[in-house]
């Protein structure tokens, strides 16, 4: 496995430690900002939001998985190493989840324990997928497979494939298209990515039918 990973992508050792720490701090702060902002939107009446945010159903969008998966993937692939990717994604979720539920408790006066436990588990487990997601911006078959899996996961959130094909919401389509841009490759590899993503999406919706509606 080590040889496969080394062939897929190598660590960028040219980045100073100070810059690495700064990036991690920014990621954590970004998580805090998004967690606080997300909860603040939860507490805002829909008709008080700008028309565009109402149309995009932004409050429910931030309560679903696709945007958080996409952000975590971006943090991972743009980190300088797989270990740093695991750390940075973990810090992001720590910042986002902790600020969301601190705001819930102190400002909104409501703490949804069961829902919080789900997100705490996601936070604890996040370093492992982040470690492997880092290789999605690498080269070779392993990187292409990881990219295809990521795209498939996000596609499963964007399009319901059973009982009539339909889009879950325009925001999920935007996130899926953004993932295609972030993980773009040469035409042949891109076709393989898409080929991998479709069975991944189908399997997720067969095995975890509520996955696309989590939130």
- Which residues are CB-neighbours of 138 under 8 A, at least 6 positions away? 8, 9
Q: For 113, left (φ over 0), alpha (ψ -120 to 50), or beta? A: alpha
Provide the number of structural domains found in the chain. Answer: 1
Task: Report pLDDT for 211.
Answer: 60
What local confidence, expressed as pLDDT, does residue 83 receive?
Answer: 95
Segment 165-186, tens digit of pLDDT: 888 889 999 999 999 999 999 9
Q: Containing domain of residue 202, as a range? A: 2-213
Rounded to two decimals, the pTM is: 0.91
Q: What is the pLDDT of residue 1?
A: 84
| Mean pLDDT rounded to a whole number for the chain | 90
Average pLDDT, consecutive stretches of 10 residues, N- to C-terminus, the chain (215 residues): 85 85 96 93 77 80 91 96 96 96 83 87 96 95 96 94 85 96 94 96 85 53
Beta bridge partners of 159: 167
pLDDT for position 52: 80
Which tokens go with 149?
A: 């899996």
């Amino acid at each position: 496995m080590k040889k496969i990973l080394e062939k897929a992508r190598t660590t960028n050792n040219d980045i100073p430690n100070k810059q690495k720490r700064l990036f991690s701090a920014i990621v954590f702060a970004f998580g805090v900002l998004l967690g606080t902002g997300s909860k603040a939107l939860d507490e805002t009446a829909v008709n008080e939001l700008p028309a565009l945010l109402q149309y995009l159903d932004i409050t429910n969008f931030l309560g679903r998985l696709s945007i958080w998966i996409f952000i975590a993937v971006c943090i991972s692939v743009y980190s300088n190493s797989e270990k740093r990717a695991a750390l940075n994604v973990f810090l992001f979720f720590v910042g986002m989840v902790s600020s969301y539920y601190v705001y819930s408790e102190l400002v909104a006066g409501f703490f949804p324990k069961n829902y919080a436990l789900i997100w705490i588990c996601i936070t604890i487990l996040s370093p492992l997928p982040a470690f492997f997601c880092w290789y999605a911006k690498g080269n070779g078959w392993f990187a292409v497979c990881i990219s295809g899996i990521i795209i498939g996961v996000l596609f499963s959130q964007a399009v319901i494939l059973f009982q009539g094909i339909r889009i879950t919401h325009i925001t999920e389509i935007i996130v899926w298209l953004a993932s295609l841009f972030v993980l773009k490759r040469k035409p042949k590899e891109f076709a393989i990515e898409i080929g991998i993503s479709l069975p991944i999406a189908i399997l997720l919706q067969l095995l975890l039918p509520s996955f696309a509606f989590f939130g």
